[in-house]
């Protein structure tokens, strides 16, 4: 469906290979969304005059990739939308929880990664807890928040703790809030950008997961194999981690929230599939909430943070930038031709044919 001007793009294009190659983002394994997202990041890098970065494979071969930035600007924090976010990312890296998996290379130099997205999206809330409360109310309608008390990145209530899930599962972002009755709640966030849901999974699940999945009351069929393989296994693990923290008494309630782009159909389909396995949550169960990245960005605008909302939109969701280069390339590739000479005496010929 060709997008109409001044309307949201309902479907992303299949980007011509020559366009991807021109911006050094041609990767044969990319799906449609990932190739568009990779191109969008390269276009953002080019507009901001950031030098291209290089990737070295396991054979030591280097190549330039348009969705990476060079080491110098990466160390300066140019993967982040402003210096304040970069500072928070540096501090989080320095003070990360024991066992946390913060990959510095991805965080500082990979424009396409969901890790810098998490900081660009949520780091401003670390220093403005009132704004954090406003956004959470928009993200989780009906949530009982008096005030947000903490915003933590790459957080687990207890890595390898046998009273939880017993492994290293963690949330991308965790919001700890106070309810109006003074009790404490948790919003645990998993953020996706270009991921497909086929990321590395545990080779096997411990017996603790069998116990938790049955005791949690979260699932219609807690032993179903589909919950333990891609694309659902990560949601299964993190949802149970949040629920286990409630069952242990850490929090009076919790929400498990997935944030992903509207056009990442693989993640959106996985979210719908995961929801189909869930039982209707009771008062003691942790609800699963799937929200589009675009909605979170719009919530920033509603909360009076228009500049940050526009920066996020330009960086991660302005698909008209992709549409522009695709249209330009397709126009350039079209050959012009002259109509064929008209046949002589066309009326007579038609009469003979009749």
The tens digit of pLDDT for each residue in 169-217 reads 999 999 999 999 999 999 999 999 999 888 777 777 889 999 999 999 9
Q: Is residue 38 part of a domain?
A: no
Q: Is residue 333 part of a domain?
A: no
Question: Are residues 53 and 70 in contact, defined by beta-carbon separation less than 8 angstroms?
Answer: yes
pLDDT of residue 353: 53
Question: Are residues 121 and 151 in contact, defined by beta-carbon separation less than 8 angstroms?
Answer: no
Q: Is residue 22 part of a domain?
A: no
Radius of gyration of the chain (CA): 24
Give the model's confidence band at 92: pLDDT under 50 very low, under 70 low, under 90 confident, else very high: very high
pTM of the model: 0.92
Q: How far is CA 55 from the centre of its chain?
A: 22
31-87 pLDDT, tens digit each: 999 999 999 999 999 999 999 999 988 888 889 999 999 999 999 999 999 999 999
Q: Is residue 4 part of a domain?
A: no
Q: Is residue 352 part of a domain?
A: no
Q: Is residue 126 part of a domain?
A: yes
List CB contacts of 223: < 8 A, sequence separation 6 or more: 210, 213, 214
Q: Is residue 83 part of a domain?
A: no
Q: How many domains does the chain have?
A: 1
pLDDT of residue 334: 74
CA 81/CA 230 separation, integer angstroms: 32
279-292 pLDDT, tens digit each: 999 999 999 999 99
Q: Is residue 175 part of a domain?
A: yes
Domain that holds residue 199: 101-327
Q: Is 65 helix (H, G, I), strand (E, B) or coil?
A: strand
CA 224/CA 275 separation, integer angstroms: 13
- The 10 Å Cβ neighbour count of residue 176 is 18
pLDDT of residue 213: 97
């Amino acid at each position: 469906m060709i997008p109409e001007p001044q309307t949201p793009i309902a479907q992303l294009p299949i980007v011509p290979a020559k366009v991807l190659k021109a911006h050094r983002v041609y990767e044969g394994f990319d799906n449609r969304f990932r190739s568009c997202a990779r191109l969008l990041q390269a276009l953002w890098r080019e507009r901001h005059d950031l030098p291209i970065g290089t990737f070295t494979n396991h054979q030591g071969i280097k190549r330039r990739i348009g969705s990476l930035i060079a080491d110098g600007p990466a160390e300066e924090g140019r993967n982040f939308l402003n210096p304040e976010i970069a500072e928070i990312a540096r501090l989080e890296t320095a003070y990360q929880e024991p066992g946390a998996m913060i990959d510095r290379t991805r965080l500082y130099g990979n424009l396409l990664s969901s890790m810098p997205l998490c900081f660009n999206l949520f780091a401003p809330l670390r220093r403005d807890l009132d704004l954090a409360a406003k956004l959470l109310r928009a993200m989780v309608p009906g949530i009982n928040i008096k005030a947000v008390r903490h915003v933590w990145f790459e957080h687990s209530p207890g890595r390898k703790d046998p009273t939880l899930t017993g492994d290293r599962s963690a949330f991308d972002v965790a919001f700890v809030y106070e309810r109006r009755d003074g009790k404490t709640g948790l919003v645990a966030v998993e953020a996706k950008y270009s991921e497909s849901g086929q990321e590395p999974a545990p080779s096997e699940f411990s017996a603790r997961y069998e116990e938790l999945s049955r005791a949690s009351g979260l699932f219609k069929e807690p032993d179903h194999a589909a919950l333990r393989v891609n694309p659902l296994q990560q949601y299964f693990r993190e949802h149970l981690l949040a629920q286990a923290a409630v069952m242990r008494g850490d929090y009076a309630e919790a929400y498990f929230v997935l944030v992903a782009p509207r056009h990442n159909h693989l993640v959106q389909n996985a979210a719908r599939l995961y929801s189909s396995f869930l039982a209707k949550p009771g008062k003691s169960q942790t609800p699963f909430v799937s929200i589009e990245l675009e909605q979170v960005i719009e919530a920033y605008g509603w909360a009076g943070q228009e500049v940050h909302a526009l920066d996020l939109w330009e960086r991660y969701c302005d698909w008209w930038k992709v549409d522009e280069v695709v249209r330009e390339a397709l126009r350039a590739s079209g050959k012009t031709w002259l109509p064929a000479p008209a046949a002589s005496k066309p009326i007579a010929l038609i009469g003979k044919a009749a």
